[in-house]
Amino acid sequence: MTVIDANRMNEIEARYPEYFHRSFRQRFGGLMILIATLLYSLYAVWFFDLPKLFAEAHWERVGIYLSQWVSYDVQPEFRIEDDGSIDIRYPRFSPLGDNPHPDWLVNNPDGSITVSISGTNRTVTVSKSQTIVSAHGISVPVDVSSGAPKVVGPAPGWMTVYDDNVLADLGFAGNVSISVDRVKIRKRFIGWANFIFDTQSSFFDKPVGEVVGLIVSGPRIKPDQSNLSLAFDDIWNNSEWQHGDVWTKLFQTIVMAFLGTLLGSLTAFPLAFLAARNITPNRLLNQILKRFFDFLRSVDMLIWALFLTRAFGPGPLAGSGAIFLTETGTLGKLYSEGLENIDNKPREGIKSTGAQPVLVHRYGIMPQIVPVIVSQTLYQWESNVRGATIIGAVGAGGIGLKLWEAMRTNANWENVAYMVILILIVVFIFDAASNALRHRLMGTKTH
């Protein structure tokens, strides 16, 4: 083992002082960052009042919305007439059509009606004098013969009694509202009702085999139109799901993103050469263009969309214009910074041969800057597909406006889920296409 004496130690300390005499920042910098992060986290908790926010949040609505994304409900109403008969009514535009006869609704010989909410475990039997709700292994009669509904016996925890109404919550399967003269039932089903054919279609409620047979070789339903054409029209013009309008709006969103990004890149490309200090040695022009880029990208795309919808009215033109302005600023900044970071040796070498400026740019600059341009432009194009959905909600057209309209009703969450899934699929496809194209143009392999 080598022993280092005091003189040798002093010599080493003098030669490498940065290792033996570290500054306060070097010694405690990491600890200070950790403490600052903790303090900021505590400040954020206090500033946003997170404990109160979480305590008062309506977490039950999350389950309600998620259940409506993947299911639909049927709401029959049983009205008890003065003569003791029971009249069954369905809401307008019921998923079952205008003349429903569901197999889960049974007319009993004694005049009562039994509704199966979830198999045989949850049922509701409606008669002129009482309604019996069976769930969770017990049956609870509700007397409706007097002035107000009255639960016979103790009310279970899943049943709430009001002055003129009794509400039975049966979980995801649905619920029952009982009053003196009517019983309203909400029965929930997994799936999307009438997603292919709506209740007005000639193919509505027909088995798959029968529909395929009619399309392939069946007699014409309408003499002047083939069954295949009729089926396509019924799907495209589905009044509940509005496939034609949704897909048209989705295509508008894609076109908005493509057109805005294309125009922005074409405008930013020549301006970036004028903004780059090593390409255009004019400090005033450089600064003016760079501040112009900062202005365009500092105003959010959503704000540009609001301005343009006021100027041109709602529609895809305003959306494309908003993307164009934002991308001109963003891509202009990225292109100019890429130009300023190129290696000047190839450019100077070509210039020394007496080549024209166009050839100098073509062979001395473009081979270095093309990968940056391609990569950044494709990324922005992919990102703008998502951005076009957001600006559509403020009137810039596309599927964003359609999505916002469905959310505002607070009742069409299955339509919201349908459009969200379409947007996700488009984003995934464009992400994959963008990556593949970028790697292909840059000569790299995908992994």
Note whether 317 and 182 are same-domain residues. Answer: no
The whole-number pLDDT of residue 13 equals 66
Let me know if residue 18 belongs to a domain: no
Let me know if residue 261 belongs to a domain: yes
What is the DSSP code (8-state) at residue 158?
T
What are the distances in angstroms from CA 205 to CA 97, 104, 163, 209, 210?
Answer: 9, 16, 41, 12, 10
Let me know if residue 113 belongs to a domain: yes
What is the DSSP code (8-state) at residue 173?
G
DSSP code string of 193-258: TTSSS-TTSTTTT--HHHHHHHHHTSPPSBTTB-HHHHHHHHHHT-TTT-HHHHHHHHHHHHHHHH
DSSP code string of 245-278: HHHHHHHHHHHHHHHHHHHHHHHHHHHHHHH-TT
The whole-number pLDDT of residue 345 equals 79
Note whether 337 and 401 are same-domain residues. Answer: yes
Note whether 273 and 418 are same-domain residues. Answer: yes
The whole-number pLDDT of residue 19 equals 63
Let me know if residue 49 belongs to a domain: no
Note whether 281 and 369 are same-domain residues. Answer: yes
The whole-number pLDDT of residue 100 equals 84
Each residue's pLDDT expressed in tens, for the chain with a length of 447 residues:
566 666 776 776 667 666 666 667 777 788 899 999 999 999 999 998 889 888 888 887 787 788 888 899 899 999 988 887 889 999 888 888 877 888 899 999 988 999 998 776 889 999 988 999 999 889 999 998 877 889 988 889 999 999 889 999 988 888 999 998 899 999 999 999 899 998 889 899 888 999 999 888 888 888 888 999 999 999 999 988 999 999 999 999 999 999 999 999 999 999 999 998 888 888 899 999 999 999 999 988 989 998 898 888 888 888 899 999 999 999 999 999 888 888 777 777 877 777 777 888 777 888 888 888 888 888 888 888 888 888 888 877 788 888 888 888 777 889 999 999 999 998 888 888 888 877 777 666 555
Let me know if residue 30 belongs to a domain: no
Note whether 168 and 254 are same-domain residues. Answer: no
Note whether 410 and 335 are same-domain residues. Answer: yes
The C-alpha atoms of residue 329 and residue 343 are separated, in whole angstroms, by 24
Are 325 and 261 spatial neighbours (Cβ–Cβ below 8 Å)? no
Note whether 314 and 417 are same-domain residues. Answer: yes
Total count of domains within the chain: 2
Domain termination residue (choose one: 152, 168, 190): 190
The whole-number pLDDT of residue 443 equals 65
- First-to-last alpha carbon distance for the chain, in angstroms, is 50
Domain termination residue (choose one: 158, 190, 222): 190
Let me know if residue 265 belongs to a domain: yes
Domain termination residue (choose one: 167, 190, 213): 190
Let me know if residue 181 belongs to a domain: yes
Note whether 426 and 316 are same-domain residues. Answer: yes
State which residues form the domain around 93. 75-190
Note whether 409 and 263 are same-domain residues. Answer: yes
Let me know if residue 70 belongs to a domain: no
Note whether 333 and 406 are same-domain residues. Answer: yes
Here the CATH number for the domain that contains residue 429 is: 1.10.3720.10
The C-alpha atoms of residue 425 and residue 82 are separated, in whole angstroms, by 55
pTM: 0.79
Note whether 156 and 300 are same-domain residues. Answer: no
Note whether 251 and 362 are same-domain residues. Answer: yes
Backbone angles phi, psi at 85, to 5 degrees: -75, 160
Give the residue among 418, 399, 400 at the shortest CA–CA distance from 193: 418
Are 117 and 131 spatial neighbours (Cβ–Cβ below 8 Å)? no
